[in-house]
Amino acid sequence: MARYGELRERVFEANLALVRAGLVVLTFGNVSGVDRDEGVLAIKPSGVAYDELGPESMVVVDLETGETVAGDGRPSSDTPTHRVLYRRFAEVGGIVHTHSAAATAWAQAGRELPCLGTTHADHFRGAVPVTRALTTDEIYGDYEERTGDVIVETFAERRLDPRETPAVLVVSHGPFAWGAGLDDAVENAIALETVAAIAIDTVALRADVAALDGALHQRHFSRKHGPGAYYGQPR
Amino acid sequence: MARYGELRERVFEANLALVRAGLVVLTFGNVSGVDRDEGVLAIKPSGVAYDELGPESMVVVDLETGETVAGDGRPSSDTPTHRVLYRRFAEVGGIVHTHSAAATAWAQAGRELPCLGTTHADHFRGAVPVTRALTTDEIYGDYEERTGDVIVETFAERRLDPRETPAVLVVSHGPFAWGAGLDDAVENAIALETVAAIAIDTVALRADVAALDGALHQRHFSRKHGPGAYYGQPR
Amino acid sequence: MARYGELRERVFEANLALVRAGLVVLTFGNVSGVDRDEGVLAIKPSGVAYDELGPESMVVVDLETGETVAGDGRPSSDTPTHRVLYRRFAEVGGIVHTHSAAATAWAQAGRELPCLGTTHADHFRGAVPVTRALTTDEIYGDYEERTGDVIVETFAERRLDPRETPAVLVVSHGPFAWGAGLDDAVENAIALETVAAIAIDTVALRADVAALDGALHQRHFSRKHGPGAYYGQPR
Amino acid sequence: MARYGELRERVFEANLALVRAGLVVLTFGNVSGVDRDEGVLAIKPSGVAYDELGPESMVVVDLETGETVAGDGRPSSDTPTHRVLYRRFAEVGGIVHTHSAAATAWAQAGRELPCLGTTHADHFRGAVPVTRALTTDEIYGDYEERTGDVIVETFAERRLDPRETPAVLVVSHGPFAWGAGLDDAVENAIALETVAAIAIDTVALRADVAALDGALHQRHFSRKHGPGAYYGQPR
């Protein structure tokens, strides 16, 4: 059996789930999963068509050094961004990057995605933030690693908890979403695109719509998260 | 055979119809049906993926007490809202709750959905109303039950007949639709999303569009409803 | 073999083509075809789900009297509109009525659909007109027949040729499209929805966009229509 | 084996890929491929439904004379435009013309498609330009050939390299995209429609959004293009 076979199998399946959910056009987008005991992540290879992928195409990369430790292909060019997020966001088990249409429109507009309703509050505490633009030096340096850094900086400056706000909009680029596991990461990416699309129509209907009332936001968020959660089945 | 087998079967099928109609993303949304002789409703379990559902997963709940009387899972967290609606709207046989995109955009914008054409008038008399926001006390109390109450309050204050306007937009949340039976409830949920989407484009094309002329509204509504109805086949 | 079997078969197939093209939600919409030698049209029955239809469900109606001459069901409630159009527009062989989303948005906004590009010009000469609203008397009288009359009036007042502009937007209602045959009618309905959707985005990008230049319009229209047509294969 | 069998097979497959990608409605759109050694292009026949096409339906036309050298049908009416582009853009191996919705909306609005994010920058250097309108003389002359000329003129005046900006918006008409090979051409057409749709939502969210920062644009473009490219797998 291939090395890291189970991790690669799960990452492969998560990449397919992204396609089935309609979040991916061409080869835009990639999913990774982490094995913290082994200190590695597995990720989609760069620029390969989804119908040519199998579990064994997933590339396994060392979290610290970035070296490929299993797999024949070149890992996604966004791998350094994933590595930064895994190293700095300790609780993250899976990361999804897409150019999904509605979330990307907010990112391109340079607007954070405000929480306008309970669909959003069920998944994200408060607005999904948008990063600052990278400087020219950052762009011409280790661009993908700096993209990870600016995400971490955004969460630090706004005192956001990546477990509670498991997504970000990279300005002029697109969304990253994550979760404790791969399934959560994929679900959050789908939820993000869904609420981003509804929010576009909401602001078209009321340009000055206010963010959700704090009490309602807290109530909905805590239906799904934390000790008093009562959404879903007992585990 | 399972208890309430026929009711659960029909509720299961209605939940699937919702998915087929594209009204559901992830696990957002639920359908319930009522058996008034038995004093129970059957509803989707909370937070379970649609492809893991079967008729036997439907949870049967006592209309008055809210206690589960059949089924292993925890019922949808929105069950108290459904219970209020069945108790207060005597003619309702099925209820559908979704976060369908266009109707949710109107709900998030806090705008009632005006009747802008005959597609709307065929299903809903007048605007589909939007509720007031819940107070903080209501949110931190029995939130889902208060959501039912504010729907009932909205219909009472505007003197709306829930048989004639079988849907509502819960502000900052999303739509509920209902009907005399499960099929009607699903049809009304689909019709609501359809007219909500067309209405978004209509107001983009003419911001000050007026609601449908009263005579035309009455004519279309009565083609389908009441003693002079002549739409569809004789029953 | 059933009476008018071939006509009913073709009308049935055209109704299905409408569904496949995504123009129909629920039971909104109907297609009819005419047999002028027999003086009859065949049309979808009223309010029957598409998956319950077969060729033999198509109802055959006398063009002049409106009486059903074959078929068990009640014909579409819009049948009187179709009858007027067949009687007054001599060259029409098939008629499609839908509530397709984008065309209905223009109809609800009470705006004619301007010709904004060659996709439109390939199918329709000039704007697709929008009718005036019916008067209260017309609405409470033979409503569906008056709907046909106001379409004919619209074409007469604007000196439009129904062969060259094979569609109309009935204000606050939705589109009708037609053609020399059933295939043309279905194609024109699809083309109408397509150009209506593109036009919504076009006016969002440039509110004051001008209608297509007359020469370009003429050129594109005549690529497909008239003696100098050179689009498609020789027949 | 049919003449030019391999070229026609590839052009046929590329036409189908366009349909699968959802870029084509009815018979709008065509793909061609070139064989520069033979001095011919192969292209879809005019106005034939996609489900009636096979490799042998592709029409082979002489690049210089425009004469059909293989195939029974009449070539796409847009063939003269394709011929101009192949003759003047020496590096182009495949050309795709569609009326895809979002790109056509920009073309109808007469607006170039600005580069608003990295999805765009990955495929196109700078804005995708929009042509000037043809004059009446050009329209009534060899219209399709003049359409090719005005594309070439647009690239010359703006000093654009068709290898770096492999698409154009023909004003009031729709997009053409191309590439070194057929696969590239199809990919660029899909990418164009994708970024055009996201850009519509972006400008709705921020009307005065600025084009992408030059450094970020250069970085993303060069991830995929040129000697330092590191996106995708080594070839």
Q: Binning pLDDT at 50, 70 and 90, where does residue D216 land? A: confident
D140 contacts in C (CB within 8 Å)? 215, 219
CA distance B193 to B175: 9
Say if the Cβ atoms of D230 and A74 lie within 8 Å.
yes
Q: Do the Cβ atoms of C233 and D134 come within 8 Å?
A: no
Contacts for B89 with CB less than 8 Å, ≥ 6 apart: B152, B155, B162, B178
Mark yes or no for CB contact C200/B198 under 8 Å. no
Confirm whether B122 is a catalytic residue.
Answer: yes
Q: What per-residue confidence (pLDDT) applies to B235?
A: 63
Q: Which of A140, A142, A161, A231 is catalytic?
A: A231
Q: Are C18 and C24 in contact (CB under 8 A)?
A: yes
Chain B environment of C111 (Cβ under 8 Å): 205-206
Find residues 85-124 of chain A whose CB sits inside 8 Å of chain D.
99, 101-102, 104-111
What does the angle CA B50 – CA C49 – CA C70 come to, to the nearest 5 degrees? Answer: 165
Out of C35, C50, C62, C122, the active site residue is: C122
pLDDT at D177 > cutoff 90: yes
Kindly provide the b/e burial profile for residues C37-48, where b requires at least 16 CB atoms within 10 angstroms of the residue's own CB. eeebbbbbbbbb
Number of other CB atoms surrounding residue D203 within 10 Å: 18
Under a CB-based contact definition with an 8 Å cutoff, are residues A33 and A11 in contact?
Answer: yes
Active site residue A35: no
**What's the pLDDT at B1?**
53
Q: Which residues of C touch B113 (CB under 8 A)?
A: none
Q: What span, in angstroms and rounded, lies between the C-alpha atoms of D179 and B82?
A: 56
Sheet (strand B59-62) strand order: B68-70, B59-62, B40-43, B30-35, B94-97, B174-179, B167-170
Q: What pLDDT sits at residue D119?
A: 94
Chain C's closest residue to B212, CA to CA, is: C172
pLDDT of residue D233: 81
Decide if A225 touches D, using CB distance below 8 A: no
Average pLDDT over residues C197-222: 92
What value does the mean pLDDT take over residues B158-184?
Answer: 97
Position C1 pLDDT exceeds 60: no
- Supply the residues of D annotated as catalytic: 122, 231
Give me the sign of the Cα torsion angle D209, D212, D213, D214.
Answer: negative
Query: Is C211's Cβ below 8 Å from some Cβ in D?
Result: no
Cα separations in angstroms, B33 against B38, B42, C200:
12, 5, 39
Q: Is the pLDDT of residue D1 over 70?
A: no
**Cβ B147 vs Cβ B175: under 8 Å:** no
**C194 vs D contacts (CB less than 8 Å):** 25-26, 28, 99, 101
- Kindly state whether B165 is in contact with chain A, defined as any CB-CB distance less than 8 angstroms: no
Q: Which amino acid is at D122?
A: D
* DSSP states of A162-207: TTTS-EEEETTTEEEEEESSHHHHHHHHHHHHHHHHHHHHHHHH-T
The answer to whether residue B2 scores a pLDDT higher than 80 is no
What does the pLDDT read at residue B47? 85
Does the structure show a pLDDT above 90 at A105? yes
CA D85 from chain centre, in angstroms, equals 10
C-chain residues near D110 (CB < 8 A): 206, 209
Q: Output B90 or A230, whichever has higher pLDDT.
A: B90
Q: How far is D192 from chain A (nearest CA, A)?
A: 11
**CB pairs B-C closer than 8 Å:** 89
pLDDT score of B147 more than 80: yes
Distance in Å, alpha carbon of D218 to nearest chain A alpha carbon: 9
How far is A125 from chain B, CA to nearest CA, in Å?
15
What are C152-193's pLDDT values in tens digits?
999 999 999 999 999 999 999 999 999 999 999 999 999 999
**What does the pLDDT average to over A62-67?**
97
CA of D12 vs chain A CAs: smallest distance (Å): 20
B2 interface with C at CB cutoff 8 Å: no
pLDDT of residue A1: 53
Instruction: Let me know if C140 is exposed, middle or buried by CB neighbors in 10 A (0-12, 13-18, 19+).
Output: middle
What are the backbone dihedrals phi and psi of residue C72, each rounded to the nearest 5 degrees, phi first? Answer: -90, -30
Local structure of B30: helix, strand or coil: strand
> At residue D215, does pLDDT exceed 80?
yes
Band (pLDDT 50/70/90 cuts) for residue C18 is: very high
Q: Is the ipTM of this complex over 0.85?
A: yes
The pLDDT, as a whole number, for residue B201 is: 98
Q: Pick the catalytic residue from A35, A62, A122, A183.
A: A122
pLDDT at D49 (0 to 100): 86
pTM recorded for the entire structure: 0.96
Test D202 with A105 for CB contact under 8 angstroms. Answer: yes
CB C94 within 8 A of CB C178: yes
pLDDT score recorded for residue B51: 86
| Rounded CA separation A154/A132 (Å) | 8
Q: Is D205 on the interface with A (CB under 8 A)?
A: yes
pLDDT at residue B234 tops 80: no
Dist CA B139 CA B141 (whole Å): 5
Quickly count: other Cβ atoms within 10 Å of residue D147's Cβ: 22
Mean pLDDT over residues B152-157, rounded?
A: 98
Of the partner residues A197, A205, A232, the one whose CB lies closest to the CB of residue B101: A197
CB atoms within 10 A of CB B95: 29
**Torsion, CA C138, CA C141, CA C147, CA C151, rounded to 10:** -50
Mean pLDDT, to the nearest integer, of A56-81? 96
- The residue in chain D having the minimum alpha-carbon distance to the alpha carbon of residue A102 is D198
Q: What is chain C's mean pLDDT, rounded?
A: 94
- 3-state SS assignment for residue B163: coil
Q: What is the pLDDT of residue B223?
A: 82
Give the active site residue among B50, B122, B143, B183: B122
pLDDT band at D98 (very low <50, low <70, confident <90, very high): very high
Task: Provide the pLDDT for residue B67.
Answer: 97
Taking residues A5-11, what's their average pLDDT? 96
Sign of the four-CA dihedral C70, C71, C75, C79? negative
Q: What are phi and psi of B82, to 5 degrees?
A: -60, -45
The alpha-helical segments, DSSP class H, found in chain A are 5-20, 79-88, 101-109, 118-121, 136-140, 143-157, 182-205, 214-224
- Are C235 and C183 within 8 A, CB to CB? no
Query: Residue B182: phi, psi to the nearest 5?
Result: -65, -40
Selected residue with higher pLDDT from B48 and B145 = B145
Shortest Cα distance from D103 to chain A (angstroms)?
15
Tell me whether residues A234 and B139 touch, CB distance under 8 A.
no
Neighbours of chain D (3+ CB pairs under 8 A): A, C
CB-CB contact of A148 with A85 (8 Å)? yes
D45 interface with C at CB cutoff 8 Å: yes
Do residue C116 and residue D172 have CB atoms under 8 angstroms apart?
A: yes
- Does C216 contact D28 at a Cβ distance shorter than 8 Å? no
What number of residues does chain A have?
235
CB-closest option in D118, D191, D197 to A172: D118
C222 touches chain D (CB under 8 A): no
Sheet containing A174-179: give its strands across.
A68-70, A59-62, A40-43, A30-35, A94-97, A174-179, A167-170
